Amino acid sequence: LEARPGRGNDVAYVIGEWVDGDPLDAHLEEVGALAAVDAADVLRQAADALTAAHAAGLTHGRVHPRNLLITASGRVRLTDAHVAAALRGTGGTGGTASVADDTRDLAAVLYALVTRRWPAGATPQPAGSLQAAPHEAGHLLTARQLRAGVPRALDHVVTRGLEPTRLPALG
């Protein structure tokens, strides 16, 4: 990130690595909702990237389907951390991100991975091309309500990540 102040109109340049991969929303459009084991692998890779950033004292603040890229080899790359930092650093719309925000947004990604829907309302992040998940009685339908076969434990983790005070039935 380079800023050149003092010229009357400040300009910031953001340079990022080129990643050859499909955004998560496009990937899900092509392959459909993932099985729990495959969704867990994608999520683990994204969580590993965020864990490294958090250990360095950094948060992302913009985890969503357009900045998680899936490469041809199945690797997950989390992009745009530099954009989020630039927005926060220049008074842009990035706001102040926290580890809790990144964690919530990882839960949203897991929801999308197993349902192909974005839990709009549970996160402020954009959905990309994913359709919004339905709500009932003021609550987001759980992943298990939306897609048969989602394991109860995964459903519980996703629901608690998106709505911490809500406890879905585990029995």
Q: What is the overall mean pLDDT for the chain? A: 86
CB 97 within 8 A of CB 137: no
Instruction: Give the pLDDT score at 92.
Output: 41
For residue range 73-121, what is the model confidence (pLDDT) as tens digits?
999 999 887 666 666 554 444 456 789 999 999 999 999 999 999 999 9
pTM over 0.85: no
Q: How many residues does the chain have?
A: 171
Helix axis angle for 36-55 and 152-162, nearest 10°, is 40
H or E element: which one contains 77?
strand 76-78
How far is the C-alpha of 62 from the C-alpha of 101, rounded, in Å?
9
H or E element: which one contains 21?
strand 21-23
Instruction: Give percent above pLDDT 90 in the chain.
Output: 64
CB 143 within 8 A of CB 155: yes
Mean pLDDT of the region 111-134: 96
Cross-strand bridge partners of residue 3: 12
In the block, tokens 């999520």 appear at 43
Q: Could you tell me how many helices (H) and strands (E) the chain has, helices first?
A: 6, 9
